[in-house]
Amino acid sequence: MRFLLKLRLNQPPSEAIMARIPAEQRRGVELAEQGIREAIYVAADRSAVWTVWNCDSQEVLDEATKTLPLYEFWSTEVTRLTDEDF
């Protein structure tokens, strides 16, 4: 199953958030290499991030996102995507 995950910081950027960005990027690369995270798009004003994930279920998606170093700072919105062609 594929999911679109919209991420927004749930508080203004802080030193704690900024310090975790390199680890967040590394973990994102690992997830991409595993074929779990397929794409990432960042708003031009950096106010939001959209990612496309390929997971067996929403529960698997939830577990994967919990491994992100910034997980506790993200507000998330999940949309399941169709696998059908239009």
Q: Which domain holds residue 48?
A: 2-81
Does any domain span residue 69?
A: yes
Residue 85 has pLDDT above 80, yes or no: no
Locate tokens 């994930």: which residue? 53
Residue 9 has pLDDT above 90, yes or no: yes
Rounded Cα distance between 27 and 74, Å, is 15
Q: Give the domain CATH number at 76.
A: 3.30.70.1060
Does any domain span residue 86?
A: no
pTM of the entire predicted model: 0.86
Q: What is the pLDDT of residues 16-66, one digit of tens each?
A: 999 999 999 999 999 999 999 999 999 998 889 999 999 999 999 999 999
Bridge-based pairing state of the strands 74-81 and 2-9 = antiparallel
| Torsional sign, CA 27, 32, 35, 36 | positive
Does any domain span residue 8?
A: yes
pLDDT-based confidence at residue 83 (cuts at 50, 70, 90): confident
Domain total in the chain = 1
Say which residues have a Cβ less than 8 Å from residue 86's Cβ, sequence separation at least 6. none
Does any domain span residue 39?
A: yes
Is the distance from CB of 78 to CB of 5 less than 8 angstroms?
A: yes
Rounded Cα distance between 8 and 50, Å, is 9
DSSP E strand stretches across 1-86: 2-9, 37-42, 49-54, 74-81
